[in-house]
């Protein structure tokens, strides 16, 4: 009886290049579908008719001038103090409506800065108008 030596088996070679390609595609996929910044927004509702107002006499009026100056109920207030000024006024009643009136020449950046300060102050009812 003759015993033959075991035959050599061919080992399966896994190439690392296809695995790197798959990992790279997964990284790209997850980068594209994930969000890195939590978007926050200020919701504004359009009034029933252009130029229509609610007629609230207790509304806090914030006026943004074309020069960038800000008035709160007729008093000039710097942007840095806007949040504190509004918080003092909103302590009486958080449900006070706030009317923001901006000149046409006001930059969008300035308007968003003011709206952010209003949000930080706790204003919940905003009306946005323009001159």
Render pLDDT for 71-114 as a digit per residue (tens, 0 to 9).
998 899 998 888 888 888 888 777 778 898 988 888 888 888 99
CATH of domain 60-130: 3.30.420.270
pLDDT for 24 equals 96
E-strand spans in the chain? 60-64, 70-72, 75-76, 97-102, 125-130
Q: What does the pLDDT look like over 17-65, one tens digit per residue?
A: 888 999 999 999 998 888 776 666 655 556 555 555 555 567 889 999 9
* C-beta of residue 35 within 8 angstroms of C-beta of residue 27: no
- What distance in Å separates the CA atoms of residue 61 and residue 36, rounded to the nearest whole number? 36
Q: How far apart are CA 115 and CA 119, in angstroms?
A: 6
**Which pLDDT belongs to residue 58?**
74
Q: How far apart are CA 31 and CA 36, in angstroms?
A: 9
**Does the reported pTM lie above 0.75?**
no
């Amino acid at each position: 009886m003759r015993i033959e030596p075991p035959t050599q088996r061919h080992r399966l070679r896994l190439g690392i290049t296809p695995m790197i390609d798959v990992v790279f595609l997964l990284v790209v996929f997850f980068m594209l579908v994930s969000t890195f910044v939590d978007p926050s927004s200020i919701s504004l509702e359009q009034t029933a008719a252009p130029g229509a107002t609610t007629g609230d006499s207790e509304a806090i009026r914030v006026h943004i001038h074309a020069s960038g100056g800000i008035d709160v109920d007729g008093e000039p207030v710097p942007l840095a103090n806007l949040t504190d000024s509004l918080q003092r006024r909103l302590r009486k009643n958080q449900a006070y409506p706030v009317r923001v009136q901006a000149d046409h020449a006001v930059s969008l950046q300035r308007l968003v800065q003011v709206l952010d300060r209003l949000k930080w102050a706790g204003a919940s009812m905003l009306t946005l108008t323009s001159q």
